[in-house]
Amino acid sequence: MRADALEGGFADPAPDAAHAFRAIMEAMARPGKIHDLVGAAPPAPLSVAAGAALLTLADGTTPVHLAGEADCEPVRRWLAFHTGAPVTGAETCAFAVGTWPALLPLSSYPVGTPEYPDRSATLIVEVDRLAAEGATLCGPGIRETAELSLPETRAFAENHARAPLGLDFIFTCGAQVAALPRSTEVG
C-alpha cells in the first residue's frame, strides 16, 4: 500500500462522517439547496465533496464505479484503503463518480425494479460550478420551486418520468454538494 492512499480520510471519522451524512441527507431532502461537504482530502481528480460523500456512503459491500479520469490508481487505492468498496462496472454499481460526460450513457446504470426500486444507482457528478440558478425544480422537499445549475435538463426529466424507478444524483464542486433525487421534476 502506497503512503498516499493512507492520507485524505476524515481526521475524526465518527463526527466527520456524521456531519457529512447530515449534509448529504439535507441535500437529498431539499433538492436544489447547496450545502458544504468537507473533511476529506481525496486524490485528484476527486473534489473534497466527492471524497467526503464516498467516505460516508461507501463501504466494503458497496460497489462503486469510477468513470473517466476518476478511474485512476490513486483514487482506486484511496477508495480501497478508506472504504474497502469494490470497484465495479456501471451495470452493477450502487454509486458512480465522475464528470457528467464520463458518466454517460445513463442507461448503463441500474434503476431498480418494481419490487425493489431502492436497488438503483446514485451518481456523484463532479461539476465545474454549483449555483442556485438554471433549471427549475419542483417536487418533494421544495416549497414552490428551486433552481440548480445542471449539466442538462432532458436526461433528468426523463429520469423523473420513470419514478419510482430511476437514478439519484449528487452534484459536487469543490467543497459543495447539491442533490437531485428521482422524485424531483426538472423543467
For residue 11, name the pLDDT band (cuts at 50, 70, 90): confident
**Model pLDDT, residue 160:** 97
What are 45-97's pLDDT values in tens digits?
A: 999 999 999 999 999 999 999 999 999 999 999 999 999 999 999 999 999 99
End-to-end CA distance of the chain: 47
Domains and CATH numbers, the chain: 3-186 (3.40.50.11310)
**Model pLDDT, residue 2:** 60
For residue 10, name the pLDDT band (cuts at 50, 70, 90): confident
Alpha carbon distances (Å) from 7 to 55, 65, 113, 140: 12, 21, 38, 38
**Strand, helix or coil for residue 84:** coil
C-alpha cell at 187: 423543467
Residues 83, 42: contact at Cβ < 8 Å? Answer: no
Residue 65, beta-bridge partner list? 96
6 has a pLDDT exceeding 90: no
- DSSP at 125: E
Q: Report yes or no on whether pTM surpasses 0.75.
A: yes
Segment 20-40 mean pLDDT = 96
What are 153-163's pLDDT values in tens digits?
A: 999 999 999 99
Reference 180, options 160, 165, 162, 161; nearest CA is 160
**Model pLDDT, residue 13:** 87
Reference 75, options 95, 54, 92, 101; nearest CA is 54
* DSSP H or E stretch at residue 124: strand 122-126
Residues 10, 55: contact at Cβ < 8 Å? Answer: yes
- DSSP at 43: P
**Model pLDDT, residue 169:** 98
Alpha carbon distances (Å) from 80 to 6, 39, 74, 118, 186: 10, 18, 10, 24, 35
Segment 11-18 mean pLDDT = 90
What are 124-149's pLDDT values in tens digits?
A: 999 999 999 999 999 999 999 999 99
